[in-house]
Structure 1
Amino acid sequence: MISLWDTRGTEVVKALAAERRSAGGVTSGMALSLIVVVDEAQVHEAEAAATIAAAAHPCRLLIVVRTDIDRPQSRLDAEIVVGGRLGPCEAIVMRMWGRLALHAESVVMPLLVPDVPVVTWWHMPAPDRIATDYLGVVADRRITDAAQSGDPTAALRARAADYAPGDTDLIWTRITPWRTLVAGALDARPTAISAARIVAPAADPTAMVMGGWLGARLGITPTLEHTDAAPRMRSVELSCPNGDVLRLVRDGDSAQFTRTGEADQQLPLVRRPLGDELAEELRRLDADQVYADALTAMSGARGLDVRPAHRVHVWHDPVGAGAAG
């Protein structure tokens, strides 16, 4: 491990090359470059998740910690780890203060692995318009997390308004177990569905995306019912034209599946670690059409699938905007 204090981007590049030589260098096995944008308070959580994901997807991990952009003097501290505490990857943790934090790409771009995809993950509230963040524009795939926002519902709608092919959100990833169970139930005995009801807390954004997915796939408008009896999405109920009902009800780390005229079943519904969710999204580097369809049904936004995948950077100075206000 190499630690550089109050350094420059060129020194980070040189130190990484030196550390790679001493560790044997593994760039030829890199599948992608993963940029993580995070606040100082959540660095350890982001590192733990990225370490899990990197075990499944060999990558160069570039963690950008933006701190105190109002600070009059810029500063860069960097920690370089090759095959160490952050798993089998090349990792650089960069803490940026002052105006440098608004121009993180000046340090990050020379560190990207040549000729491999770039993924950017915000483990913090993402910009309303990703085009205002160069680290998002340069990426082939962009991972946000509406749950990090103070208003996840508004954040999801912002993601729909700003969507470009290659975007995804970890709220979508978190309903993968639910989608798997629902799809499995319908595949086991195909049947028409005429209505759907989702029971979840009012503040749980997964219910909105689940409703969007059901609406897009089944051509219906699901009903959302709020409850204070559970901290997360509680149940999904599907009604058939003949009166039969299919119901999945969360019970701890499992779900009880009931279907009219059949015996109840207990199915696994385990909440996964953040690193497993991130690893799932790194499995695909193309546009997620099913996610786009769910966003369309959830928000009413149209034409998401025909928007250009290539983003154009739009410079936005949050310091200047604040001063103007």
Structure 2
Amino acid sequence: MTTLWDTTGSAVVKELAAQRRTGGAVLSGVALTLIVVADESRVTEAEEAATHAAEMHPCRLLVVVRRQIDAPVPRLDAEVQIGGRLGPGEAVVMRMYGRLGLHAESVVLPLLAADAPVVAWWHAAPPEQLATDALAVFADRRITDSSMAEDCLAALRTRAIDYAPGDTDLAWTRSTGWRAILTSTLDSVSGRRGAPVQVHGGRVTGDPASPTAQLLAGWLSSRCGCAITVEEASRTPGQSGVESVVLTLDQDEEVRVHSDRKGGAVISQPFRPDAAVPLPERDLGDLLSEELRRLDPDEPYSDALEAATGVTGLAERPSQREYVWFDPAEAENGNGRPRKRAAAARRGDGS
């Protein structure tokens, strides 16, 4: 690893090329460029998660830490490494001071892997409007986490208002285990009957303030064509914010999936004994790795987000974003209005 203090973007590019030549490394088989935007207080856990994801999905890892935006002098400190603590590939950790943090794309763009998709992940509270961050404008896929906001439900609605195809949320990823169990359970009921099952209603029991619980209920509502509510659990739910799901079926039948708090869930359905299935708590690296498996728009997520927030027409929105300049200093003075700038959503077309 090489640390460059008070450096420039050009020096970082040269150092990365030099390490590649010295180590005999060849950039091949890289699936994507992963840009991680993290607060200084969360850099360690973000790096651990990104390292795990990089082991599953070969990528060039670029970590952006915006520090002291109000610093009087712009400055860039960078760590450049290949095959080090951040996984087997190429990684650059950049700490930006002063107004350089508002123009992080000027340093990041030359470091993107050629002809590879770009995924941006905010391990921090994302901007209310992603287009105000140029890193979101040229990314093919954008990952946020509504559960990190002070008001999770307000953040979920903000994500719906600002949604563009290619967006996703780790609060949605946390519901994957529940969705898989519910899908297989309903398929089992359909197989027993020899006909598709009809869901007439149901409820998700857990934390009503949990974005995962709300998105799970939204997904069920969109798929079943009926209202699925979120009700408060009698005890504190687990990491996902979901304690149980109960679905009312036709023919006066009911299906129930309940967390056992031991890394599993119990399925109760008519005419069959209760069954235990694994439902482990997942760490951040697993969640991020799952989201890197797909680079196309996540339509089930947009359907769930629509149903959970009431904001419609998400899937019909254009996937490309137009860059909107936003200066926090001007905002503090009462003059800060986001201003659109001509910019294409694809890297290399300007930012």
TM-score tier by shorter-chain length is over 0.9
Higher mean Cα deviation, 99-108 or 198-207? 198-207
Matches within 5 A, 1:195-214: 195-214=201-220
Alignment partners' CA distance in 1, 2:76 and 2:229: 50
Residue 243 (structure 2) aligned to one of 217, 220, 234: 234
Alignment partners' CA distance in 2, 1:143 and 1:201: 23
Measured after TM superposition, the shift of residue 23 of structure 1 is: 2.0
Measured after TM superposition, the shift of residue 311 of structure 1 is: 0.8
Query: Does the 8 A contact of 2:208 with 2:214 survive in 1?
Result: no
Alignment partners' CA distance in 2, 1:298 and 1:224: 10
Alignment partners' CA distance in 1, 2:293 and 2:210: 26
Matched residue of 2:333: which SS? helix
Cross-structure match for 1:215: 221
Cross-structure match for 1:11: 11
* Structure number having the greater helix percentage: 1
Residue 309 (structure 2) aligned to one of 279, 291, 299: 299
Measured after TM superposition, the shift of residue 73 of structure 1 is: 1.3
Matches within 5 A, 1:243-322: 243-252=252-261, 253-322=263-332
Q: For residues 228-281 of structure 1, what are the alpha-carbon distances to aligned partners after superposition, in whole Å with 9 as ceiling and x for unaligned?
A: 512331000001132211001111210011113321111100011111110111
Alignment partners' CA distance in 2, 1:189 and 1:265: 13
Cross-structure match for 2:28: 28
Query: Does the 8 A contact of 1:195 with 1:238 survive in 2?
Result: yes
Cross-structure match for 1:55: 55
Alignment partners' CA distance in 2, 1:324 and 1:229: 45
Alignment partners' CA distance in 2, 1:280 and 1:124: 19
Matched residue of 1:27: which SS? coil
Query: Does the 8 A contact of 1:201 with 1:228 survive in 2?
Result: no
TM-score by length of 1: 0.98
Cross-structure match for 2:146: 146
Partner letter of residue 261 of structure 1? F
Task: State the Cα RMSD in Å.
Answer: 1.1
Partner letter of residue 326 of structure 2? H
Cross-structure match for 1:77: 77
Alignment partners' CA distance in 2, 1:26 and 1:271: 37
Alignment partners' CA distance in 2, 1:257 and 1:228: 19
Matches within 5 A, 1:97-136: 97-136=97-136
TM-score by length of 2: 0.91
Partner letter of residue 323 of structure 2? H
Measured after TM superposition, the shift of residue 297 of structure 1 is: 1.1
Query: Does the 8 A contact of 2:123 with 2:145 survive in 1?
Result: yes
Alignment partners' CA distance in 1, 2:26 and 2:64: 22
Measured after TM superposition, the shift of residue 309 of structure 1 is: 0.6
Measured after TM superposition, the shift of residue 58 of structure 1 is: 0.5
Distance 1:20 1:228, change over 3 A: farther
Alignment partners' CA distance in 2, 1:263 and 1:189: 13
Q: For residues 149-208 of structure 1, what are the alpha-carbon distances to aligned partners after superposition, in whole Å with 9 as ceiling and x for unaligned?
A: 111111111111111111100011000000000000011122211011111123322110
The number of residue pairs the alignment matches comes to 325
Alignment partners' CA distance in 2, 1:239 and 1:300: 23
Q: For residues 120-174 of structure 1, what are the alpha-carbon distances to aligned partners after superposition, in whole Å with 9 as ceiling and x for unaligned?
A: 0000001111111000001000000111111111111111111111110001100
Alignment partners' CA distance in 1, 2:320 and 2:134: 12
Matched residue of 1:255: which SS? strand
Matched residue of 1:158: which SS? helix
Partner letter of residue 244 of structure 1? E
Partner letter of residue 28 of structure 2? S
Partner letter of residue 281 of structure 2? R
Alignment partners' CA distance in 2, 1:217 and 1:262: 24
Unaligned runs of 5+ in 1: none
Unaligned runs of 5+ in 2: 191-196, 336-351
Question: Once the two structures are aligned, what percentage of the paired residues are identical?
Answer: 53
